[in-house]
Amino acid sequence: MSGLVTAGESLALIYTRNTGGLDVLSEAAVSFGGAESNVAIAAARLGADVSWVGRIGDDAFGRRITRTIRGEGIDVYGALDSTAPTALMVKDRPSLGRTRVVYYRTGNAGSRLCVEDLPQPALESAEIFHFTGISLALGDQVARTVLTAARTVREAGGCVSFDLNYRSKMWTHESAEPAFREAIGLSDIVFAGDDEAAIAVGSGSVGELAQRITALGPQEVVIKLGDRGAYALVGDETVQQPPFLVEVADTVGAGDAFVGGYLTERLAGLDLKSRMRTAAAAGACACRGDGDWEMMPTRRDIMELTTGGDPVSR
Ligand SMILES: Nc1ncnc2c1ncn2[C@@H]1O[C@H](COP(=O)(O)OP(=O)(O)OP(=O)(O)O)[C@@H](O)[C@H]1O
Ligand SMILES: O=C(O)C(=O)C[C@H](O)[C@H](O)CO
C-alpha cells in the first residue's frame, strides 16, 4: 500500500498583505489555496508519499497549481478542463486583524470533478484517503465523486479521513448536517473544529462531541481548537494537546497543516501523542506567515519549534 491520497478543488488566490479592502488597495499577491492540496503539501513536506486528485482549468492559474503541487513532490491526478476556468478566491483585510474571503467558484473546473477522473489504482493502493466538507458543498457531482473515492479506498482495505471544514459562504448548517453525517459514517478518522462538530452532532463539551462522532462509526476523532490546541479520542485513549506558542500572521491553512502532520505520523505508525504533537506544531508553524500552503513546515521547522532552537540560523 502507498501513502496518502487527497481529492478536492484547488483554486487561484489573490490576497492583500496590507490592511484595507481590495476595493481601494492597488497591490495584491497571487497564489492558490484548496484545503486538500494544502494537506497534501503539508504531508509531503514532512516526508509522506502523497497524491492529489483534482480538476483544474486550462489556464495560467491551473498551470500554476499543478506545477507547484508537482514541485512539492506530489503525484497529480485528475483532469485538465478546457471548457471551465480554475476557480478563484479573493482574500483581503478590510480592517486590522480581520480577514475577508470571497469565492468565485460556481461552475468552475474543480466543481466538475467526476467519478471518471478518479485514479482507480492509486485509490486501491492508498493507505489513507483524505477529503473535506468543502467538496460536499461544491455540488452533487463532486460530493458523489469524493464519496465514491472513499468507498473505493475502504473496500480495498485503506482508511478514510474526513475534515468537516464547514464554509458558511457555501452552505447552511441545515444543508451541511446530513452531508456531514453521511461522510462521517464512511470515515475512520474525523477532524473537526468544535463549532463544526456541533453542526453534525449537536452542541456539547469537546469530549461529548468526540464521543458522539465515534457513535456514527469512526474510531478516531480529533477536535481542532485553534489557539486552544486540540483534543483526540481513539478507543478509550484521549489526548489533550496544548498549542505551541507562535507569533501569528495568518491562521488560514493551520487546520490543513495540522491534518497533514497528523496523517503523516499515522502513516509512519507513531502513537497518538506523537501524532498530536507533530500536528499541533505543524498547525502553529502554518500561522507564522501569509499564504494557505507556503508556511507548511519541514521536519526541521517542527524540530526548531518543539525544541525551542536558536531563532537565528547562520
Ligand atoms: N494561534 C495559534 N497558535 C498556535 N497554534 C495554533 C493557532 N491556531 C491554530 N493552531 C494549531 O493549529 C490547529 C488547527 O487550527 P484551527 O483549529 O484554526 O483549524 P481550522 O479551523 O481547521 O483551520 P483552517 O480551516 O483555517 O485551515 C489547532 O488545533 C492548533 O494546534
Ligand atoms: O476555503 C476554501 O474553500 C479553500 O479550500 C481554501 C483554503 O486554502 C482552505 O480553506 C484552508 O483550509
Q: ipTM score of the complex?
A: 0.97
Q: What is the mean pLDDT of the chain?
A: 95
256 is an active site residue: yes
Over residues 269-297, the mean pLDDT reads 96
Ligand nearest to the CA of 196: 1
Report the share of the chain in percent with pLDDT over 70.
Answer: 98
Average pLDDT of the residues in 228-232: 98
- pLDDT above 90 as % of the chain: 86
Residues with CB under 6 A from ligand 2: 33-35, 38, 89, 134, 167, 252-253, 255-256, 292
Q: Ligand 1: residues whose CB is within 6 Å?
A: 165, 193, 224-227, 229-230, 243-244, 246, 248, 251-256, 258, 280, 283-284, 287
With the CA atoms of 54, 60, 65 and 70 taken in that order, what torsion angle do they form, in degrees rounded to the nearest 10? 100
User: Is a pLDDT exceeding 90 seen at residue 21?
Assistant: no
Per-residue model confidence (pLDDT) at position 313: 54
36: pLDDT confidence band, cut at 50, 70 and 90?
Answer: very high
User: pLDDT per residue over 56-92, tens digit each?
Assistant: 999 999 999 999 999 999 999 988 999 999 999 999 9
Catalytic residue chosen out of the listed positions 75, 256, 292, 301: 256
At 54 the pLDDT is 98
- Whether the Cβ atoms of residue 88 and residue 65 lie closer than 8 Å to each other: no
For residue 11, the number of C-alpha atoms closer than 13 Å in the C-beta half-sphere is 27
Q: Is the pLDDT of residue 227 over 90?
A: yes
Q: Quote the CA–CA distance of 122 and 74 in Å, as a whole number.
A: 12
Half-sphere exposure of 123 (CA within 13 A, CB side): 25
Tens digit of each residue's pLDDT (9 = 90 or more) over 103-156: 999 889 999 999 999 999 999 999 999 999 999 999 999 999 999 999 999 999
> What residue ranges define each of the domains in the chain, with the CATH number in brackets?
2-294 (3.40.1190.20)
What integer pLDDT is reported at residue 309 of this predicted model? Answer: 60
Residue 281 has pLDDT above 70, yes or no: yes
> What is the structure's pLDDT at 310?
57
Indicate yes or no: pTM above 0.90. Answer: yes
CA angle 196, 45, 124 (to 5 degrees): 70
Residue 312 has pLDDT above 80, yes or no: no
Digit-coded pLDDT (tens) for 155-210: 999 999 999 999 999 999 999 999 999 999 999 999 999 999 999 999 999 999 99
Here the cell at position 156 is 480495498
Mutate-to-test residue for ligand 1 from 36, 161, 168, 227, highest number of ligand atoms within 8 A of CB: 227
